């Protein structure tokens, strides 16, 4: 069933020219054409010239956005002993050991935005793959969420750490802030994310790395970005 875009969406889309915009111009436009009452999230989507089926072309990483995401993320820490006290002191929203694993298994509980686990708990946490995996919440050493430095991991997530990974179609989707952000802060965040993706280019990727990119708000039309400068950095 296809639904017709509403009048407000169409009016917003009409303000977007069929051209590739420079990032600064695109961010300003996304903020200008917003038409909903709620404070939408602004997202960047990048289509990459990689084949994620090959492990050596997988693109994933994290970036701490300089201006955060506009909402404090709820963090769950699964740990034991002293690390639970560290989690509490560092501001974890939920923390515990085996009982947290059991709760997630029995209740399908996912009322949090990030999960940090200490390495000694990974044998138990490994059983949560079915619940946490599809939601992108599974702790992983590569993204700093399996760690003994619980305090630092919590602080980074609360400060606006964003995880990105290429999906099976070769696209990265990531939030960079809210429409209500000051223009320069939103631009700085978007630029930080794009640079992080550019830096994460796998050596096995051949040809043009960033094929296309768009920026949009949750409900708004996409604004195409000029990717020339992104690719110059990877040449």
| Tens of pLDDT, residues 97-113 | 999 999 999 999 999 99
Q: Which of residues 100, 128, 158 is at a domain's end?
A: 158
Residue the block writes with tokens 């602080």: 155
How sure is the predictor about 1, in pLDDT bands with cuts at 50, 70 and 90? very low
Q: How many domains does the chain have?
A: 2
Are 103 and 207 in a shared domain? no
Report yes or no on 130 lying in a domain.
Answer: yes
Element spanning 214, H or E: strand 210-217
Are 99 and 151 in a shared domain? yes
Are 64 and 86 in a shared domain? no
Using CA atoms, how far apart are residues 165 and 170, in angstroms rounded to an integer?
Answer: 9
Q: Which of residues 110, 143, 158 is at a domain's end?
A: 158
Using CA atoms, how far apart are residues 227 and 232, in angstroms rounded to an integer?
Answer: 9
Q: Which of residues 135, 158, 181 is at a domain's end?
A: 158
Three-state DSSP at 178 gives strand
Are 113 and 226 in a shared domain? no
Pairing of strands 41-48, 114-117: unpaired
Are 172 and 151 in a shared domain? no
Report yes or no on 118 lying in a domain.
Answer: yes
* Closest of 52, 31, 71 to residue 190, by C-alpha: 31
Residues linked to residue 146 through DSSP beta bridges, in sequence order = 117
CATH number at residue 114: 3.40.50.790
How sure is the predictor about 4, in pLDDT bands with cuts at 50, 70 and 90? low
Beta-strand (E) ranges in 67-158?
75-78, 94-96, 114-117
Report yes or no on 45 lying in a domain.
Answer: yes
For residues 29 and 193, is the Cβ–Cβ distance under 8 A? no
Report yes or no on 2 lying in a domain.
Answer: no
Neighbours of 121 (CB within 10 A): 22
CATH number at residue 49: 3.30.190.20
- Provide φ and ψ at 120, rounded to 5°: -65, -15
pLDDT digits (tens, 9 = 90+) for 153-201: 999 999 888 989 999 999 999 999 999 999 999 999 999 999 999 999 9
For residues 107 and 94, is the Cβ–Cβ distance under 8 A? no
Using CA atoms, how far apart are residues 97 and 17, in angstroms rounded to an integer?
Answer: 53
Using CA atoms, how far apart are residues 193 and 126, in angstroms rounded to an integer?
Answer: 29
pLDDT digits (tens, 9 = 90+) for 5-25: 789 999 999 999 999 999 999
Report yes or no on 61 lying in a domain.
Answer: yes
Average pLDDT along the chain: 93
Range of the domain at 203: 7-68+161-232
Q: Kindly report the pTM of this predicted structure.
A: 0.78
pLDDT over 70 at 227, yes or no? yes
Are 198 and 224 in a shared domain? yes
Report yes or no on 132 lying in a domain.
Answer: yes
HSE-CB at 116 with a 13 A cutoff on CA atoms is: 33
Report yes or no on 97 lying in a domain.
Answer: yes
How many helical (H) and strand (E) elements, i.e. helices and strands, does the chain have?
9, 9
pLDDT digits (tens, 9 = 90+) for 52-81: 899 999 999 999 999 988 877 899 999 999
Are 11 and 115 in a shared domain? no
Are 39 and 153 in a shared domain? no
């Amino acid at each position: 069933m296809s639904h017709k875009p509403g009048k407000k969406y169409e009016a917003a889309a009409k303000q977007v020219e069929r051209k590739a915009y420079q990032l600064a111009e695109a961010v300003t436009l996304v903020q200008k054409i917003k038409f909903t009452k709620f404070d939408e999230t602004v997202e960047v989507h990048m289509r990459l010239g990689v084949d994620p089926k090959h492990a050596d072309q997988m693109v994933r990483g994290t970036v701490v956005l300089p201006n955060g995401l506009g909402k404090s993320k709820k963090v769950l820490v699964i740990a034991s002993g002293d690390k639970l006290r560290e989690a509490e002191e560092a501001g974890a929203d939920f923390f515990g050991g085996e009982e947290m694993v059991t709760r997630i298994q029995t209740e399908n509980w996912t009322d949090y935005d990030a999960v940090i686990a200490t390495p000694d708990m990974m044998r138990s946490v490994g059983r949560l793959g079915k619940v946490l995996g599809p939601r992108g919440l599974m702790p992983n050493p590569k993204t700093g969420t399996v760690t003994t430095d619980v305090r630092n991991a919590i602080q980074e997530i609360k400060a606006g750490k964003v995880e990105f990974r290429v999906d099976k179609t070769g696209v990265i989707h990531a939030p960079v802030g809210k429409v209500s952000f000051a223009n320069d802060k939103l631009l700085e965040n978007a630029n930080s994310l794009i640079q992080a993706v550019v830096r994460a280019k796998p050596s096995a990727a051949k040809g043009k790395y960033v094929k296309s990119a768009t920026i949009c708000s949750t409900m708004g039309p996409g604004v195409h970005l000029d990717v020339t400068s992104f690719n110059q950095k990877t040449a």
